[in-house]
């Protein structure tokens, strides 16, 4: 039984001669002849969507921290919470994402100090 692979544009291929080593950016695959590669611009969009997915519960948790600081009038905790929420909101605008020229550089752009363990 042959394996048929379909790329992001709907092109299909049976038995590629070359393809990416992992499926992390499967939605960015592009077929050219018998070679499957990854479209970097599409991969960056997928990467940013993953950041949005991961940061959603982090922002929600930080909202709780802020509300508790607000209730106790702890202005330093409020400021710290606001700073963290702004960093989370700006995570998709990280310059290392836009400047990545390879998939490996894109994977390295994950900010573990802000978002936690990288899914890549």
Number of domains forming the structure of the chain? 2
Same-domain status, 82 and 44: yes
Indicate the average pLDDT of the chain: 92
Examine the domain organization and report whether 64 and 89 are in the same domain.
yes
Name the residue range of residue 9's domain.
4-38
Judge contact between 59 and 88, C-beta under 8 A: yes
94 and 68 in a common domain: yes
pTM of the full structure: 0.85
Q: What pLDDT shows up at residue 35?
A: 87
- Quote the pLDDT of residue 7: 78
pLDDT at residue number 102: 96
Predicted local distance difference test score (pLDDT) of residue 111: 96
Three-class SS of residue 78?
helix
Contact call for residues 27 and 20 (beta carbons, < 8 A): no
Q: Is 12 in the same domain as 57?
A: no
Contact between 32 and 16 (Cβ < 8 Å) = no
Strand, helix or coil at 120? coil
Q: Is a pLDDT exceeding 80 seen at residue 76?
A: yes
Share of the chain residues as helix, strand and coil, in percent rounded to the nearest 5: 55, 10, 30
Using one digit for the tens of pLDDT, what is the confidence trace for 7-56? 788 877 777 778 888 889 999 999 888 888 999 999 999 999 999 999 99
Residue 120 lies in a domain: no
Nearest to 110 by CA among 40, 37, 42, 48: 48
Q: Say if residue 45 is in the same domain as residue 34.
A: no
One domain, residues 24 and 82: no
| Residues 32 and 15 placed together within one structural domain of the fold | yes
Check pLDDT > 60 for residue 1.
no
49 and 29 in a common domain? no
The whole-number pLDDT of residue 71 equals: 96
């Amino acid at each position: 039984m042959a394996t048929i692979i379909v790329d992001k544009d709907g092109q299909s291929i049976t038995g590629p001669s070359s393809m990416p080593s992992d499926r992390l950016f499967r939605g960015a695959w592009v077929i050219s002849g018998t070679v499957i590669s990854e479209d970097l611009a599409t991969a960056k969009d997928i990467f940013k969507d993953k950041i949005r997915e991961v940061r959603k519960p982090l922002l929600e948790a930080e909202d709780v921290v802020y509300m508790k600081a607000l209730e106790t009038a702890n202005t330093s905790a409020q400021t710290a919470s606001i700073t963290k929420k702004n960093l989370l909101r700006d995570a998709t605008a990280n310059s290392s994402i836009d400047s990545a020229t390879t998939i490996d550089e894109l994977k390295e752009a994950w900010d573990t100090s802000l978002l936690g363990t990288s899914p890549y």
